[in-house]
Amino acid sequence: MKSFIIKDIEFALDAIEQFYIAVIVKTGYKNETTEVSLKWFESEAKGRVEFVAFCITIVTKSKKRYQFLFKTRGELDRQMSLISSQIG
């Protein structure tokens, strides 16, 4: 069974229902935030939203949700590379 580890948490691939990367931005209403796609953020967001973090979100089949935040795109890319090398 293939698996990978993020920040000391191991995830078995067959236990994952959703895995996606996104960008967390402020909505402009109080301290509320929301997720937007990385593609939209890179092409449309400039000057339109306030960046909070890049993230990897994992939802397991048991409906447990994990969100891992990264301050830079480089940090996100390094983590994705580590995941890729672990599941080979």
Give the pLDDT confidence score for residue 48 in this predicted structure: 86
| Confidence (pTM) | 0.88
Q: 53 in helix, strand or coil?
A: strand
**Which distant-in-sequence residues (6+ apart) come within 8 Å of 84 by Cβ?**
none
Give the pLDDT confidence score for residue 46 in this predicted structure: 82
The whole-chain average pLDDT of the chain stands at 95
Contact call for residues 82 and 9 (beta carbons, < 8 A): no
Q: What is the pLDDT of residues 21-63, one digit of tens each?
A: 999 999 889 999 999 999 999 998 888 899 999 999 999 999 9
